[in-house]
Amino acid sequence: MDNKILITAAIFGVLSIVLGAFGAHALKELIPVTSQQTFETGVRYQMYHALFLLFIGSANLLTQKTKNVIYYLTLIGVVFFSGSIYFLATNTLTNFDFKVIGFITPIGGLLLMLSWLTLFVNFLKNKC
């Protein structure tokens, strides 16, 4: 499982860099500045959680069960949160109105908060 967590972290990290460059260069002339800033928020949170997963995958003080819970909360949270933000920020570029999926953004944010809260509770239990 640790290897899967670390691979996911690396994929999230690479995609953050690619999407950040795409947002800064390719989208610059296509979407308004506020949408660019929104897109960048998605990139930033994706990178934060790539680093978070690197820590989780490398940590010896967490049980495998705790790592699994944190991994899936983070994975789904990033896909929902950052993924929906990418689509919402580029909404004007397609004929599909991505605002209909906007409700998953806060669900993704909640899952990300729960992943950090799971880590926090684990630290309290272990008195690390």
What is the average pLDDT score of the chain? 93
Q: Which two tokens stand for residue 107?
A: 């669900």
Multiple choice CATH, 2-126, 1.20.120, 2.40.160, 2.60.40, 3.40.50: 1.20.120
- What's the rounded mean pLDDT across residues 5-34? 93
- What's the rounded mean pLDDT across residues 36-63? 96
70-111 tens-digit pLDDT: 999 999 999 999 999 999 999 888 888 888 888 999 999 999
Q: Are 74 and 11 in contact (CB under 8 A)?
A: no
Match 């899967």 to its residue by tokens: 4
Q: Rg of the Cα trace of the chain? A: 16
What pTM value is reported for the model? 0.92
Other beta carbons within 10 angstroms of residue 63's beta carbon come to 11
Other beta carbons within 10 angstroms of residue 53's beta carbon come to 27
In the chain, domain spans: 2-126
Residue 128 has pLDDT above 70, yes or no: no
User: Computed from CA positions of residues 69, 7, 120, 127, in that sequence, does the dihedral angle turn out positive or negative?
Assistant: positive
Q: How far is CA 30 from CA 25, 72, 78, in A?
A: 10, 34, 24
